[in-house]
Chains A and B, each alone.
Chain A
Amino acid sequence: MLHRYPRRVVIIMLVLTAFVAIFPLWGPVVFGAQSDFMMEKLTLMLILALFAMSLDLLVGIVGLVSLGHALFFGLGAYTLALASPAFSPAAIWWMMPLVMLVAALAALVVGFLVIRTKGIFFIMTTLAFGQMLYYFVNTSRHTGGTDGVFIMFRPSVELGGTVLLDLDNPLTFFYVCLAMVVVGYLFLRWLTRSFYGQVLDGIHDNEHRMEALGYATSHYKLVAFVISGVMASLAGMLAAMQYGFANPAQLGWHTSGEVLMMLILGGMGTIFGPILGAFAYEILQHTFEHMTTHWPILMGITIILAVLVLPRGIAGLIIDPPNRESLAKSPLLKWLKRDATTPRNEAAKPVAPATGKEG
C-alpha cells in the first residue's frame, strides 16, 4: 500500500474543506438564526474528526482495534480541567504541551502493557484500561466525580501581552479547530507515507514477516500508540474547551465505540475517511434526534446497514466509485444471494483497508 489516492480524493477534500471554511459566509443565509448553533455543531464535528483520525492511525494503519481510545480523549479533557487555574485563563503555551505530555506518558505505560496482546485480546485490554480510568475519575475526590468539572476559562493565546487569538470568540475557535484538523491530517498523511509508515503497513499486512525481516515491531506499534493517544488528547482538550466542561462519560467505552463507528462509516485506513465519518455520524444523529425520541433504532439500523453494505465506508465509495462490475460483487447483493455461496471456505482474516492502488 502506498497510500496514494486518485486525484478526485484531493479535489473532493479540498472542496469540502473550503466549503466548511467559508461557513461564516453561507451559514447565516442557509440557517438564519440557527447559524451560530450550526457553527458550534460544526466545530464539534471538527473536534470529533480529529479524534477519529487519531484512532485511524491505530485501527486502519497498524491494524490494532482499540476499544479504549476514549481514555486519551478524556485524559486531554481532564488535564485541561484540573490544571487550569480557577480564576484566570491558563496560557496555551504550557497547557497544550502539558496535555500532550500527560497523554504521551499514559500512552507509553498503557501501550507498553497492551501491545503484547493481539486481536480480540487487544480490544479487551484497551477496553479494560479505559474502564479503569473511567472508574477512577468517577470515584476520585479530586476530579469532580460523576458530575464532572467546569473549566471556567478557555486558555489564552498571548505573546508578550498581546492577544494573538481570542479562543472565546466562537469564530476564532472554529478556525483553530479547522486548522488542527488540517494539520493533523497533513501530519498523518506524511507519517503514513514515510519510511516509518511503510513499516506500519508491513506490520498490518503480516507482522511475523516484519519481525523476520528484523524490525522490532512492538517498538513501531508503541510509537504509533503514543502518537495516536497524543492526538486524541488534543481532541479531548478542544472538546473540553468548547463548552468548558469535562465529564467521566467522555472516558467511557461508549465514547470509544462511537468513535470506532465514525471510523468505519468513513472508511478506515484512509485518514481522510474518518473525517467524513465524524461528520456523517454527527449529522445522522442530529437528524434522527430531531425526528423521533426513538432515534436509537434509526441509528442502530444505519450502523448495521453501514457494516453490511459499506464495508469500506464513505472513503471506499470515493476511491472506488461503484461500477457495474463492483456492484455485482457488492456485499449487499452477496448478502441477498448468500444462500448460493455456501460453503464458506475462508478463515476470518482482516480486511484490507480501503486504500486504492491507483494514482
Chain B
Amino acid sequence: MTNFKKTALASVLGTATLMSTFGAIADDHPVKLGLMLPYTGTYTALGEAITNGLELAIAQHGDRLGGRDVEYVKLDSEANPSKAPQNMSRLVRGDNVDFVIGPVHSGVAMGMLRVAQQTGAITIIPNAGLGAATNELCMPNVFRTSFSMWQDSYPMGKAAYEMGHRNIVTITWDYAGGKEDLAGFEEAFTEAGGEIVRQILVPFPNTEFQSYLAQIASDRPDAVYTFFAGGGGVSFVRDYAAAGLNESIPLLGSGFLTDGNLAAIGEAGEGVMTTLHYAETLDTPQNRAFVEAYQEAYGQLPDTYAVQGYDTGMMLVQALEAVEGDTADRERLIEALASVQLDSPRGPLSFSDSHHPIQNVYLREIRNGKHEVVGIAHESLEVPDAACRM
C-alpha cells in the first residue's frame, strides 16, 4: 500500500471513530444527502436530470433510507471548478451531510475529491467521467455510478473496426474529458488494426465547426469519431449533416454526443452510431418500468443522466437497508456500498475494486429520433483502473 493510500485510509478511519461517538444520537435524525450539482449555467439540464432520477428512486421507497427520513441539501456547483473545494467543504463540514452526490463536471470533481481526500466524506459521483477519480486518486470513500470516458469510448473502437472502417478522424474539444474519451477509442481502434488519420482538438467551448468540417471533407476518412456534449454535440451533429458529410462519411460518437438532446438534433441525427451504458429504448422490464415512472413524475423521457441519478438513489436505498440506516459505522457503510448490485434500467450493475461501475456498453443507432439498441458493444465491461486496487 502506498503512503498516500495509508493516509487516506487513516483519515477515513479517523472520521469514522469521530462519527461513531455521535452515532448513537444521530440515528433518528434524517439521512442528509448533499447534492453538489449544477443548477445554473451550461450543465443545468444534467444537474436537474440527476436530481430527478435520485429523488424518484428514493420516493419509490417511501422517501426513506434504511428506515430514516431523508433530507436533501442542494448546492449549486455552478460547474465552476475553482469553487469546488469550498462548496464541498460547505456540505461536509458546514451542513454535515452523510453523503455527497456530485458533480457533473470533471474539473469540479477534481476539486471535490481533494476535500473528499482530506475529510473522508463518502462521495458518489453521478456523472463526471474523469478516469483519475477511481484510478490514480483511488479513495475508499469515493464511488461512481456513472462511467469513465474510457469505458464508453473503448467499445466503440472495436465496433468501428468491425463495421469495416480502417481510417478514422477523431475530433473533440481540447479539454481533459474529451481527450480521455478519444484515448479510449483510439486505444481499441488501433489495437484492432485501424489507423487514426488525424486527431482534431477544438478550443473549448467553441461550437463553430465549419473549418473542421472542411478539413474532414478533404481528409476523406472512412468514418469520424467524435465526443462533444450539450450544445456542442447538437451543433456538431447538425453542422455535420448540413455539410452533407453524413452522406459519405459515417459519424460515430460517444453516446453523450446526442444523449438528452435528440429533439434539438432532429433529423440531422438519423444514422449516427454511438456507444453508451444506457439507451432509453432498452427493452427490459426494469427499463420499461423506469421510463414509465419517470415520465409520470416529470412529464418527459429520461436520459442517461436521469438513470445515473436513479441508480445513485437505488445504491443508497440498498446500502442503507443493508446497514439498517446506521451511517455512523463508516467502514461497514463503505463495504455495503461497494457490494451493491443493481438490476438497473441500464442492465446489471455492480462495482469493481476501484468502486467503478461494471456495466454493459451498448451500441446504439439513431432511428426515427430514438436511440435504438443495435447490440451490446461490450458486456459487463470493467475499467482496468490499474492504479487502484482496494
Please say whether the chains A and B touch (CB closer than 8 A): yes
Q: Which residues of A contact B (CB under 8 A)?
A: 33-34, 36-38, 40-41, 44, 87, 135, 138-139, 145-148, 150, 152, 242-245, 247-250, 252, 254-255, 286, 289, 293-296
**A37 partner, pick from B75, B93, B177, beta carbons under 8 A:** B93
| With A37-B94, A147-B176, A293-B76 as contacts: A249 and B40 at CB distance below 8 Å | no
| With A138-B204, A293-B39, A293-B40 as contacts: A255 and B82 at CB distance below 8 Å | yes
**A249 partner, pick from B80, B94, B115, beta carbons under 8 A:** B80
Query: A55 CB to closest chain B CB, in angstroms?
Result: 17
Contacts of B80 in A (CB 8 A): 249, 254
* Chain B, residue nearest A249 (CB): B82
Query: Are B111 and A37 neighbours in the complex by a CB distance under 8 Å?
Result: no
Query: Are A146 and B40 neighbours in the complex by a CB distance under 8 Å?
Result: no
Q: Which of B54-102 contact A (CB under 8 A)?
A: 74-76, 80-86, 89-90, 93-94, 96
Instruction: Please name 6 pairs of A and B residues whose Cβ atoms are closer than 8 Å in the assembled complex, sorted by A.
Output: A34-B93, A152-B4, A243-B85, A248-B107, A293-B74, A296-B40
CA distance A44 to B3 in the complex (A): 29
Contacts of B106 in A (CB 8 A): 146-147
Contacts of A252 in B (CB 8 A): 82
The interface residues of chain B, by DSSP majority, are classed as helix
Query: Are A139 and B176 neighbours in the complex by a CB distance under 8 Å?
Result: no
Q: Number of residue pairs across A and B with beta carbons under 8 Å?
A: 94
Asked whether B130 is an interface residue with its Cβ less than 8 Å from the other chain, the reply is yes
* Chain A, residue nearest B91 (CB): A37
Contacts of A243 in B (CB 8 A): 85-86, 89, 111, 114-115
Contacts of A41 in B (CB 8 A): 86, 90, 94
CA distance A7 to B110 in the complex (A): 47
The interface residues of chain A, by DSSP majority, are classed as helix
Query: Are A250 and B176 neighbours in the complex by a CB distance under 8 Å?
Result: no
Contacts of B209 in A (CB 8 A): none
| With A44-B86, A147-B107, A148-B107 as contacts: A244 and B114 at CB distance below 8 Å | yes
Asked whether B348 is an interface residue with its Cβ less than 8 Å from the other chain, the reply is no
CA distance A147 to B176 in the complex (A): 6
Contacts of B82 in A (CB 8 A): 247, 249-250, 252, 255
Contacts of B107 in A (CB 8 A): 146-148, 247-249
Asked whether B244 is an interface residue with its Cβ less than 8 Å from the other chain, the reply is no
* Chain B, residue nearest A245 (CB): B114
Q: Which of B164-221 contact A (CB under 8 A)?
A: 174-177, 179, 201, 203-204
| With A138-B175, A250-B82, A289-B76 as contacts: A147 and B89 at CB distance below 8 Å | no
Q: Closest 10 CB pairs between A and B? A: A243-B85, A37-B93, A249-B82, A37-B94, A293-B39, A247-B81, A146-B175, A250-B82, A147-B176, A245-B114
Beyond the given A87-B3, A245-B114, A249-B81, please list 19 additional residue pairs across the A-B interface where CB-CB is below 8 A: A38-B94, A40-B86, A40-B89, A138-B175, A139-B174, A145-B179, A146-B175, A147-B107, A150-B110, A152-B4, A244-B85, A245-B111, A247-B84, A247-B110, A249-B82, A250-B82, A252-B82, A289-B76, A295-B40
CA distance A273 to B82 in the complex (A): 25
**B130 partner, pick from A40, A139, A147, A255, beta carbons under 8 A:** A147
CA distance A36 to B115 in the complex (A): 14
Query: B343 CB to closest chain A CB, in angstroms?
Result: 32
Query: Are A150 and B81 neighbours in the complex by a CB distance under 8 Å?
Result: no
Query: Are B76 and A148 neighbours in the complex by a CB distance under 8 Å?
Result: no
Query: B358 CB to closest chain A CB, in angstroms?
Result: 24
Query: A232 CB to closest chain B CB, in angstroms?
Result: 15
Query: Are A135 and B111 neighbours in the complex by a CB distance under 8 Å?
Result: no
Query: A108 CB to closest chain B CB, in angstroms?
Result: 26
* Chain B, residue nearest A87 (CB): B3
Query: Are A135 and B203 neighbours in the complex by a CB distance under 8 Å?
Result: yes
* Chain B, residue nearest A70 (CB): B82
Query: Are B110 and A148 neighbours in the complex by a CB distance under 8 Å?
Result: yes
From B84, B96, B114, B174, name the one whose CB has the most chain A CB atoms within 10 angstroms: B114
Contacts of A242 in B (CB 8 A): 85
Contacts of A254 in B (CB 8 A): 80
Contacts of A33 in B (CB 8 A): 96
**A148 partner, pick from B39, B74, B111, B201, beta carbons under 8 A:** B111
Q: Which of B32-46 contact A (CB under 8 A)?
A: 39-40
Query: B199 CB to closest chain A CB, in angstroms?
Result: 14
Contacts of A145 in B (CB 8 A): 175-176, 179
